[in-house]
Amino acid sequence: MLDKNLLKYYSHEPAGVRKMQKIAEVLELEKKMNNKESLSILDIGCGNGHLAAFMAALGNQVTGIDENNEAVAFAQKQYASEGVVFSNKKLTEFANKFEVITAFEVCEHIPELNNFLNELKNKLNDNGLFLISVPNGWSLEEMVRHLVQHTSWGQKLKSFVRRKNILPKSNTQSNADSPHVHFWSYNKWHKEFTAAGFKIEKTFKVSWFFKQFYYLGGRRFVKPNSKVFCFLDWLDDKLVRVLPKCWADGWIIVMRKKY
């Protein structure tokens, strides 16, 4: 179980505590395998810095980068005491390599994914760890997102909803409004990462219904960390544990650099 003092970083996100728990388990195992007290971590697309700060609170040396200046400024102010180096530096600008690279909810935004993965490998130690989360492109949430981001009538509907404040914009992870360009199944993600030179070691199911319900409209009525929020999150956890991998709304994937 996570220390209660760590819950503040991401408990406001559906399945956020579960996500932090899995990240902590993976990093702790990596420390033990390498007989290290701390890991050098680069968090790509760190957004508002919640998970970068969380990983730093676990005793790691963390650098967080994001192309959105507003998100970086927020992270620098919000987590000034955590010791994370936040910047809008580009991946190719780093001269050093890292023991771990993370990219949470990032890969689905990148058109030239193979180029990105090749650049990333150049900044990762040999046999280094690549830890990510990606959405299930076949989930209801992603199908709705595809319609509102990639069809003209969907964009008009999204504009109307925002203008009338029917459903406020979510800025849990970042204020950026970057569209998803990949709507892939788990098998497709697996194929892309394997072809890019990574060996997938573990996959965790993130959530089933709660995250989708929350972002498709539930956040209008359910407040973060309320009793209803916590109950639905608990129920979602129980259900996703027994459901097939393909039913999850997304996955945390643990990979190792092969070459």
For the chain, domain boundaries: 4-257
Task: Please give the CATH architecture assigned to the domain spanning 4-257.
Answer: 3-Layer(aba) Sandwich (3.40)
Contact indicator for 141, 216 with CB cutoff of 8 Å: yes
Question: Residues with Cβ < 8 Å from 113, sequence gap 6 or more?
Answer: 107, 182, 192
Classify strands 124-135 and 40-44 as parallel, antiparallel or unpaired.
unpaired
The verdict on pTM exceeding 0.75 is yes
Q: Taking 80 as the threshold, does the pLDDT of residue 171 lie above it?
A: no
Mean pLDDT of 19-23: 97
pLDDT bucket at 168, cuts 50 / 70 / 90:
low
Q: Taking 70 as the threshold, does the pLDDT of residue 65 lie above it?
A: yes
For 174, the token pair is 């970042």
* pLDDT of res. 170: 64
pLDDT averaged over every residue in the chain: 93
Which tens digits make up the pLDDT trace of 181-211? 999 999 999 999 999 999 999 999 999 999 9
Tell me the C-alpha distance between 86 and 81, whole Å: 12
Which tens digits make up the pLDDT trace of 93-126? 999 999 999 999 999 999 999 999 999 999 999 9
The type of residue at 58 is L
Other C-beta atoms closer than 10 Å to the C-beta of 235 total 13
Cα distances (Å, whole numbers) of residue 137 to 87, 133, 140, 142, 211: 30, 12, 8, 5, 14
| 3-state per-residue secondary structure call for 7-26 | HHHCCCCCCHHHHHHHHHHH
